[in-house]
Chain A
Amino acid sequence: MKTEDIERYVNNEMVGEELKSFELALENNVQLKGEVEQMQLLVKQLRDKGLSSKISLEQKRLRQYRKIRIIVYATTAILGLLLVFILKNSKQEIQYPMEGRQYPTDGNQMKIIPLEDSLSPKMLNPVEESDSTSVNKISPPIAQIKNTEFGGNSMDLAMEFYFEPRDIVYVRGQGALSGLDSAKLAFNNEDYNKSLEILSKLSFNKPYIDFFKANIYFKLEQYERANILYSLCLSKEKDQFAKEEIEWYLLLNNLACGPKCKPSYAQLLKLILSNEDHSYFKSARSLQKSLLNR
Chain B
Amino acid sequence: MIKLGTPFNRFSDQDKLIVELAKEDSKAIQYILKKVEGSCLQFIKKMGLTSDCLEDVMHDGLILFIRKIQEGSYDASLSAPQTYLTGICKNLFLNITRAKRAVSTIELEEAFHTYSEDVQASFYLKENLKLVNKILGEIGSPCKELIQLKYLDGYQDEEQINLKLVNYSSVDSLRVSRSQCMKKLSAVSLKYKSDYEN
Contacts and interface: CB of A to CB of B under 8 A. Distances in A.
A55 B136 CA distance: 19
Instruction: Identify the interface centre among A3, A54, A55: most chain B CB within 10 Å of its CB.
Output: A55
B29 interface: yes
Interface in B139-190: 147, 151-154, 175-176, 178-180, 182-183, 185-186, 189-190
A43 B29 contact: no
B-side binding surface: helix, strand, loop or mixed? helix
Nearest to B174: A4
Given A49-B132, A49-B152, A53-B152, A59 B55 contact: yes
B80 interface: no
Interface residues of A, number: 27
B151 A46 contact: yes
B58 A46 contact: no
B189 A42 contact: yes
B66 interface: yes
Nearest to A5: B179
Interface stretch (B10-18, B102-110, B123-131): B123-131
A52 B179 contact: no
Interface string B41-59: 0000000000000010011
A43 B182 CA distance: 9
B63 A3 contact: no
Instruction: Identify the interface centre among B24, B129, B152, B190: most chain A CB within 10 Å of its CB.
Output: B152
A44 to B, nearest CB: 8
B133 interface: yes
A43 B132 CA distance: 10
A78 interface: no
Interface string A243-261: 0000000000000000000
Contacts of B176: 4
Contacts of B33: 55, 58-59, 62
Interface string A45-70: 11111111111111101100000000
Instruction: Identify the interface centre among B55, B58, B131, B153: most chain A CB within 10 Å of its CB.
Output: B55
Given A38-B190, A50-B154, A52-B129, A59 B182 contact: no
A241 to B, nearest CB: 66
